[in-house]
Amino acid sequence: MNEILSFWAQWLRPSAGLPTVQWSLLLAVAAMTGYLFQRHIGLPKVVGYSLVGTVAGLAGFSGAVWPLQGIGLFLLELGIAIVLFECGGRIPLRWFRHNPMVLVQSIAESALTYFAVLWVLLWLDVPERAAGPLAIVALAASPAVLTRVVSDTRAAGPVTERAIVLATLSTLYALTLGSARAELINRSSIGLLDTVYPVMVVLGVSIVVATLLALALRLALRFMSPTSENTSMLLLALVAAATAVAAHMGGSAPLAALLAGMLLKQMHQRPWAWPRQLGNASSLLTMLMFVLVSTVAAQADWSAPVAGVVLALIAVRLLAKAVGVALGNVGSGASWQQALWTGCAMTPMSSIALLIASQFVLASPSTGHLIARVALPAILLMEVLGAVIATVAIYRAGESSKPWAPLSRNRNGENHGS
């Protein structure tokens, strides 16, 4: 692919640069592929986006640099921030007051996932300096994949809502711990104060940025309609500004957006219209995010010795999330079957995990190499496989208002045959 692009660059000199043309064409192919996957196979569009990015990455596409930096890192953080802001706006804090077992369920699932993955990696002789960060990467579910699956399947119900909340909370833990751990990765001896201080800095800066963002939006909502497209433009602009500022000040841009969504939900109790009004801009950012993640992850150093560790991490993570949700299910108001499908819906990994892994690589290239060679293949597999598992879980839970395309065609064929 690099030779083809070099030949192309000799006679094509677009005003915006050759990478812009490459990414535009790649996104066009991804849009068509995602549509075809949903229309004819019944799988969510994200599967098509990820497969296009995977093919591009395996073919040597040079438009995505690892570790993430510059405009690529900003676009990924902005896409994550938009998704997490929306997810944060779906979490009413009073829900935890009336049903605290949901919070217990979240902590149990996240803690079990972290320690189970850490133990298995150490048992497989992965160095401790890499095993801990990999466990944090595995901790993060993907609200971005899950919300796209929910949108494509038109799902609604207790399993869907709980899975989004639990995935969002696990993201909160992973972003906080990941950003703090990246600050400590090069230190040989770490005391309790050394461990707590970076966590407090990340949380403190993110809370300050989140508060300012939420207050600015709340002020705007006093004289602007939530259904206005100008309000959506304001939201995108302010989230973009917060994304650029938060990480520079030592916080986490996605974490700040998530907390801002939660704070604004408490300040502005009326139903939101963000998803409808954000429209194509948000959809394009989301598609770009999935293609970027899969393109970068596909460039990992694939090898047989690492494959066993990757498969072990994926298997233990799947089991730990299912068991963790089940352990916290007592008194949470959900049936055991709903708990099973909730755990399955939380299996996707994507942009959050990639962002955390990139932070580790930038903080320590030597240790980061050990982390990336396991994390990148795992992220790529679970972006695609996790989306499929989440789709099956939603349909099995009976919460999709849209019939699954393969099943519909089979039933229509049987009806015509009879």
Report yes or no on 415 lying in a domain: no
- The amino acid at residue 28 is A
Residue 414 in domain: no
Token pair for 208: 């300050």
pLDDT of the residue at 378: 94
Is residue 155 helix, strand or coil?
Answer: strand
pLDDT, tens digit, 9 for 90 and up, residues 107-139: 999 999 999 999 999 999 999 999 999 999 999
CA distance 202 to 120: 28
Would you say residue 418 lies in a domain? no
d(CA 19, CA 25): 10
Give the three-state DSSP class for 268. coil
pLDDT surpasses 60 at 212: yes
Q: What are the tokens at 225?
A: 């309609």
Q: What is the mean pLDDT of residues 261-285?
A: 71
Assess if residue 107 is contained within a domain: yes
Q: Which residue has the higher pLDDT, 14 or 105?
A: 105
SS3 407: helix
Give the residue among 68, 55, 13, 77 at the shortest CA–CA distance from 256: 77
**Is position 225 within any domain?**
yes
Q: Which two tokens stand for residue 167?
A: 């995935």
Q: What is the mean pLDDT of the chain?
A: 84
Domain membership flag for residue 416: no
Is 300 within 8 Å of 377 (Cβ atoms)?
yes
User: Using the 8-state DSSP alphabet, how is residue 335 labeled?
Assistant: -
At residue 167, the pLDDT reads 93
Q: Is the full-model pTM beyond 0.75?
A: yes
Computed over its alpha carbons, how large is the radius of gyration of the chain? 21
* CATH assignment at residue 382: 1.20.1530.20
CB 231: neighbour CB atoms within 10 A? 19
261 found inside a domain: yes
Residue 417 lies in a domain: no
Number of domains in the chain: 1
Region of 67 please: left (phi>0), alpha (psi -120 to 50) or beta: beta
Q: For residues 346-366, give the mean pLDDT.
A: 91
Q: Which two tokens stand for residue 412?
A: 């229509």
Residues 412, 416: Cα–Cα separation, whole Å: 6
DSSP per residue, 66-117:
SS--HHHHHHHHHHHHHHHHHHHTT--HHHHHH-THHHHHHHHHHHHHHHHH
> What residue numbers bound the domain in which 36 lies?
2-9+17-409
